[in-house]
């Protein structure tokens, strides 16, 4: 990642602006507002570079392909709407999960995903 290109800036700022993790296609759509000719392969290549550079963090939800968000956010979890499939950040954390592990195990980190309906989908229904 040696050069500063219009495409890379557009991808970076699309992720920065988003209030939630974006899928590669969502990144493409958002960044094309700035660079219409942007290709999906470029999005994938830059996501990989930005993750390696720790500017962007991959969000891996159970059974779903990765989404991407800014890496500077502190510890949080995710909520996925079962209707529209969008993913939202959840800033609370149940904490103290270490004691849930079987005896003799140590817990380093955890992932929690809530599933349900988001406010938008509940209003529409």
Partner DNA sequence: ATAGATGCAAAGAGTTTGCATAGGT
Partner DNA sequence: ACCTATGCAAACTCTTTGCATCTAT
Backbone φ, ψ for residue 78 (5° rounding): -135, 155
Q: Does 58 bind DNA (CB under 7 A)?
A: no
* Region at 85 (left for phi over 0; alpha for psi -120 to 50; beta for the rest): left
C-alpha 82/C-alpha 42 separation (Å) is: 29
Task: Select 17 or 100, whichever has its Cβ closest to DNA.
Answer: 17
Which of 16, 17, 25, 73 binds DNA (CB under 7 A)? It is: 25
Region from 4-12, 29-37, 46-54, 116-124 binding a second copy, contact rule CB under 8 A: 116-124
Joined together, the tokens standing for residue 38 give 């942007």
Binding residues (CB under 7 A) for DNA: these are: 1-8, 23-25, 35, 37-42, 44-46, 48, 65-66
């Amino acid at each position: 990642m040696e050069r500063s290109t219009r495409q890379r800036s557009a991808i970076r700022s699309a992720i920065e602006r988003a209030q939630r993790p974006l899928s590669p296609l969502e990144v493409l759509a958002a960044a094309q507002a700035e660079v219409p000719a942007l290709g999906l392969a470029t999005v994938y290549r830059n996501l990989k570079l930005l993750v390696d550079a720790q500017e962007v963090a991959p969000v891996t939800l159970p059974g779903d392909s990765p989404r991407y968000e800014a890496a500077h956010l502190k510890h949080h979890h995710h909520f996925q709407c079962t209707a529209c499939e969008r993913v939202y950040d959840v800033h609370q954390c149940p904490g103290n999960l270490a004691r849930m592990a079987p005896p003799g195990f140590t817990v380093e980190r955890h992932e929690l995903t809530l599933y349900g309906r988001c406010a938008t989908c509940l209003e529409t229904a």
